[in-house]
A and B are shown apart, each in its own frame.
Chain A
């Protein structure tokens, strides 16, 4: 059984300008110990997926349909208090904006201790402190700096601290929402390696969100590609990269410089991502799709599975 199963999740944001169709029928699953990557352009709904799982969507968000099953239990049906117990204990998260994710007026160590104590009554204060220093060591931070305040940390250190925090309650699933975006490349690399190692060592499930396909390529067993609120492709990383089914995935691959492979000319996808207030009829990608045909303009493509475990939402997937 999968640890996490997201089933046709549809989320809208209500705004003064109208409904934002942020997620449309998104489905995927995540097995224990597996790392799943989600990739997509800015604004395609990656964070919305993460927040929906944590049930921390903004107040103006509406979940129209779908299920989020964690070990078979639907999180969407849980009450606030039940959900509170799930958070961090079961699912923890590394936030996109590490800079502001730590409370500036409390010591970094204390903020982690707090999470431990809130979920595990068996810990004493001292034990929790000790655990934090272990966590610090684990993520490569000097335990002596536990008593520092966030502003005394560099960006990389903060990110590590947040990772330590995410691991504090030994969750089964960690959602990492662009954990390294704000960092320089060298640190990015270190952190990425660290995360990969921890995931392996601790046998974690990881939902790794990034707009950088190369990072996903390195960190994840499987990957999903999102476009304008839809999951357009999902499959084993290797397969998706080598034989993408969806034209968008292909475009995405072409627009990224390859780190190790032979140098190719970059070909950005023409056109703009659609606005989500009025997403295009039919396939949401059709205005930018080189292979768009009549059917693409009129009807929303179904999810098709071409090979085992490799899916795409396309009328004319490349086989």
Chain B
């Protein structure tokens, strides 16, 4: 032991530590700022992709990255609602007699150099159909078989006509057969082991599919193959993902609305941020060029002041709604729901709660779906002042036989009452019992929670005994979906896509079962019938008519009161790239990445 040296060595170490710390600070000054990387598009993501396996993807961040790698046969043009041939060369040929659709493929090369063929398309479809791949299976369940007529031509036989063929089936992504074959073989073996040679259906099939699906979807696919404008280079977990321009991109000679397609950037660098605060700072500082998705409106004023930043606001492809449990009186009464609709002042909601960062909605198809959106559905009290709304709602109910002990009289602004309604009874004389209005809590979605609070206030003053009850999103979904034990709730749909077949899934009486999507229990034979017809109408114009009619029916029956469509705020650096293309969903789309050009 060297006692005498002990003391001095401790302080020496201390000095060393402080020296090191000072050195680090100095180093920081020397190292930063980093040299700007010429033509890389630096994109801020709020979170990291969970998996890059296209068969398993369900988070938006992965979808954003994969968009540039896996390509689709067709794209739907947001302006004309036409299918743009992408991996396919030319429009699909529909044969209504044989129920087949045939299309040719373009010449393209995967980033490993091998060529893209009909085999890849058939393989991808085969995986989806064989394993009933969640989310995609629905788009292929009506397909009888898919075959290659030659290496560049594919034909699909349908069991029955199905309209989602156009916008769902033909817009399926394609994977590279040679890469995925070994994995799929393992999944097939597992399926064979579970099933043997037997045919299985229903639950037995579901059980048998569990293991193969797990094999298939748990593959992380950390290096996705690419046919697209960018090829996948590197993924540093938790930090960044880097894509490089694909010099062999197949669509280089194409134009997009007259403009030749690039890509003109050398690559895309996705940086992962855990929180909005630093992401916004990074945009202001120029560490990223584009903050993809969802800038909270609180940051808006600050960002607008920055001359180097441009804000794009785009309507989201979804909406928020107030839903009823149609199994319980008086909610089962259409007139009652209409009266509620009179009392819900959507304009006021949008102004007060969303500070104008949303638009009101009077149907169940979001307006960015211009082709199927019906702007002429029945509305309730639209544009009317509050006292008038209260009056109409009151008269509606009085006419239907509802009675109050004290009738409500509206005050000046929404929510105010000269006299509050009391003792509301139903036409059969029974009192309207206490009801609950469920919303997610404020920390999950402050706006939905506030909307719930506001609606409670409006209905209560009117004499409807309602209690707003915020609860965790998961718990709410359980109550609504699994137990169907609720009166009203405020929720939303996001990323609905362009095909309106979701209406069928939301409101068809077939979907009224535990865990089904028709959790409100809406039953209307006319709707059911028309919804089934639209699903099989292959002609777009004809289908459109039916879908518009469906929206009218729904807005008369009001299983939902649609509230508003939120706005998506995105920011880019003005001094870096120009030529962003704004369309449904915002500016973060393939076309933007293909068309933006560096400022220099």
- Co-complex (A, B): yes
B4 nearest CB neighbor, chain A only: A117
Any A CB within 8 A of the CB of B31:
no
User: Can you list 9 A-B contacts (CB < 8 A)?
Assistant: A110-B1, A110-B3, A113-B3, A114-B3, A117-B3, A117-B4, A118-B4, A125-B1, A125-B2
How many Å from the CB of B4 to the closest CB on chain A?
Answer: 6
Produce 1/0 per residue, A137-169, CB < 8 A to B: 000000000000000000000000000000000
Q: Whole-angstrom distance between the alpha carbons of A117 and B2 in the complex?
A: 10
Q: Whole-angstrom distance between the alpha carbons of A74 and B1 in the complex?
A: 36
User: Within 8 Å CB of B4, what residues of A?
Assistant: 117-118
User: Within 8 Å CB of B2, what residues of A?
Assistant: 125
Known A110-B1, A110-B3, A117-B4; 6 more pairs at CB < 8 Å: A113-B3, A114-B3, A117-B3, A118-B4, A125-B1, A125-B2
Q: Which of B1-32 contact A (CB under 8 A)?
A: 1-4
Q: Whole-angstrom distance between the alpha carbons of A43 and B3 in the complex?
A: 37
Q: Whole-angstrom distance between the alpha carbons of A110 and B3 in the complex?
A: 9
Q: Whole-angstrom distance between the alpha carbons of A125 and B1 in the complex?
A: 9
Taking Cβ atoms with an 8 Å cutoff, the residues of A that contact B are: 110, 113-114, 117-118, 125
Q: Which of B142-166 contact A (CB under 8 A)?
A: none
How many Å from the CB of A314 to the closest CB on chain B?
Answer: 51
How many Å from the CB of A132 to the closest CB on chain B?
Answer: 13
User: Within 8 Å CB of A113, what residues of B?
Assistant: 3
Q: Whole-angstrom distance between the alpha carbons of A194 and B1 in the complex?
A: 31
Identify whether the interface residues of A are mostly helix, strand, loop, or mixed: helix
What are the 4 closest A-B residue pairs judged by CB atoms, nearest first? A114-B3, A117-B4, A110-B1, A117-B3
Q: Whole-angstrom distance between the alpha carbons of A118 and B2 in the complex?
A: 11
User: Within 8 Å CB of A125, what residues of B?
Assistant: 1-2
Produce 1/0 per residue, B103-137, CB < 8 A to A: 00000000000000000000000000000000000
User: Within 8 Å CB of B1, what residues of A?
Assistant: 110, 125
How many Å from the CB of A114 to the closest CB on chain B?
Answer: 5
How many Å from the CB of B8 to the closest CB on chain A?
Answer: 14
Q: Whole-angstrom distance between the alpha carbons of A117 and B3 in the complex?
A: 9
User: Within 8 Å CB of B3, what residues of A?
Assistant: 110, 113-114, 117
Q: Whole-angstrom distance between the alpha carbons of A125 and B3 in the complex?
A: 10
Q: Whole-angstrom distance between the alpha carbons of A15 and B2 in the complex?
A: 41
Q: Whole-angstrom distance between the alpha carbons of A117 and B1 in the complex?
A: 12
User: Within 8 Å CB of A110, what residues of B?
Assistant: 1, 3
Q: Whole-angstrom distance between the alpha carbons of A113 and B3 in the complex?
A: 9
Q: Whole-angstrom distance between the alpha carbons of A125 and B5 in the complex?
A: 13
How many Å from the CB of B291 to the closest CB on chain A?
Answer: 57
How many Å from the CB of A129 to the closest CB on chain B?
Answer: 10
A117 nearest CB neighbor, chain B only: B4
Q: Whole-angstrom distance between the alpha carbons of A118 and B3 in the complex?
A: 9
Q: Whole-angstrom distance between the alpha carbons of A118 and B1 in the complex?
A: 14
Q: Whole-angstrom distance between the alpha carbons of A118 and B5 in the complex?
A: 11
How many Å from the CB of B2 to the closest CB on chain A?
Answer: 8
Q: Whole-angstrom distance between the alpha carbons of A113 and B4 in the complex?
A: 11
Produce 1/0 per residue, B36-59, CB < 8 A to A: 000000000000000000000000
A113 nearest CB neighbor, chain B only: B3
User: Within 8 Å CB of A117, what residues of B?
Assistant: 3-4
User: Within 8 Å CB of A114, what residues of B?
Assistant: 3
A110 nearest CB neighbor, chain B only: B1
How many Å from the CB of A199 to the closest CB on chain B?
Answer: 29
Q: Whole-angstrom distance between the alpha carbons of A125 and B2 in the complex?
A: 8
How many Å from the CB of B527 to the closest CB on chain A?
Answer: 83
How many Å from the CB of B341 to the closest CB on chain A?
Answer: 79
A121 nearest CB neighbor, chain B only: B4
User: Within 8 Å CB of A118, what residues of B?
Assistant: 4
Q: Whole-angstrom distance between the alpha carbons of A118 and B4 in the complex?
A: 7
How many Å from the CB of B158 to the closest CB on chain A?
Answer: 84
B3 nearest CB neighbor, chain A only: A114
Q: Whole-angstrom distance between the alpha carbons of A125 and B4 in the complex?
A: 11
Q: Whole-angstrom distance between the alpha carbons of A114 and B2 in the complex?
A: 9
How many Å from the CB of B299 to the closest CB on chain A?
Answer: 56
How many Å from the CB of B116 to the closest CB on chain A?
Answer: 74
How many Å from the CB of B349 to the closest CB on chain A?
Answer: 69
How many Å from the CB of B5 to the closest CB on chain A?
Answer: 11
